[in-house]
Amino acid sequence: MKNLLLKTAIAFTLSAPAFAAGSHSGGHDEAKVDNHAADHAAMMLVGKPGTAEDVDRTVDVIMRETEDGQMIFEPASFDIKPGETIRFKVKNAGELEHEFVLDTIEQNVVHKALMAKMDMEHDDPNSIRLDAGGEGEVIWTFANEGTFEFACLMPGHYESGMHGPITVSMEMAPADMQMAQADVEYSTGKIKKIDAKAGKVTIIHGPLAKLDMPAMTMVFRADEEMIAKMSEGQDIEFVADRVKGKLTVTEMK
């Protein structure tokens, strides 16, 4: 009996330090808990995983590379109402592997720095990684108002243009929308040439006050819907801005 008690006491003594190492301040387990708590808090800022039953609308997202070496998402930004559950149907139409990550801008900066040191594949409900030609989805509920970000954090991809803003806010009231539209300053111009395939239009235009540019003839980018409304020789009033570094027609009347 004495031998049994002695063996039990020795076993307990030997096991005690191992237990303490995992629970004392600065222990590995505690560090993991702290990191998990920080990640959880950041995730709660951008929202939470959604369910298929709660989806309010579906948004198609394309990831691809461009001929001039950029890497882009289409569309380039999202406007979402607080509380909306969005199904992002993501397709990689490029020739390289890409990922789609929803997070705060600050957290994306942190994760991007980590991925620059080593290629880590995310396995979280707010992200998806796809090989060329792959398709997948992320269902997400945006619980809080604010400006967040979607991005590809693979080394070099973010710097090549693969990121964009997510604005979560209530829609403007009609009166506010009218005021905002009244503040838009249109420039005048005449369409000289249209290259629909390349998504480009050449415009002989007056001064572009917003861009601090004098009157001249320049090539602008425009989306397919905008180009469909254009014809060579047409006099237009338009708004131009820099979108991903390219002069782009954003509005026209």
pLDDT single digits (tens) 164-174: 999 999 864 44
Cα–Cα distances in Å, from 251 out to 166, 167, 186, 209?
A: 21, 20, 8, 15
Residue 97, number of CB atoms within 10 A of its CB: 17
The ranges of the chain with pLDDT < 50 are 1-42, 172-182
Mean pLDDT, the chain, rounded, equals 80
* pLDDT (0 to 100) of residue 113: 87
Amino acid identity, position 120: M
Amino acid identity, position 248: T
* pLDDT (0 to 100) of residue 89: 96
Distance of CA 33 to the CA centre of its chain: 27
Phi-psi region of 127 (alpha: psi -120 to 50; beta: other; left: phi over 0): beta
Amino acid identity, position 82: P
* pLDDT (0 to 100) of residue 120: 63
* pLDDT (0 to 100) of residue 23: 31
The DSSP annotation for the chain comes to -HHHHHHHHHHHHHHHHHHHHTTSTT-HHHHHHHHHHHHHHHHHHH-EE--GGG--EEEEEEEEE-TTS-EEEESS-EEE-TT-EEEEEEEE-SSS-EEEEEE-HHHHHHHHHHHHHS-----STTEEEE-TT-EEEEEEE--S-EEEEEE--STTTTTTT-EEEEEE-PPPPHHHHHHHHHH---EEEEEEEEETTTTEEEEEE--BGGGTB-SEEEEEE--HHHHTT--TT-EEEEEEEEETTEEEEEEE-
Instruction: Report the C-alpha gap between 114 and 111 in whole angstroms.
Output: 5
Q: What domains sit in the chain, N to C, each tagged with a CATH number?
A: 48-171 (2.60.40.420), 175-252 (2.40.50.320)
Phi/psi at 136 (5° precision)? -170, -175
Instruction: Report the C-alpha gap between 5 and 1 in whole angstroms.
Output: 6
Question: Can you give the pTM of this predicted structure?
Answer: 0.54
Task: Give the burial class of 29: count Cβ atoms within 10 A of its Cβ; 0-12 exposed, 13-18 middle, 19 or more buried.
Answer: exposed
Amino acid identity, position 12: F
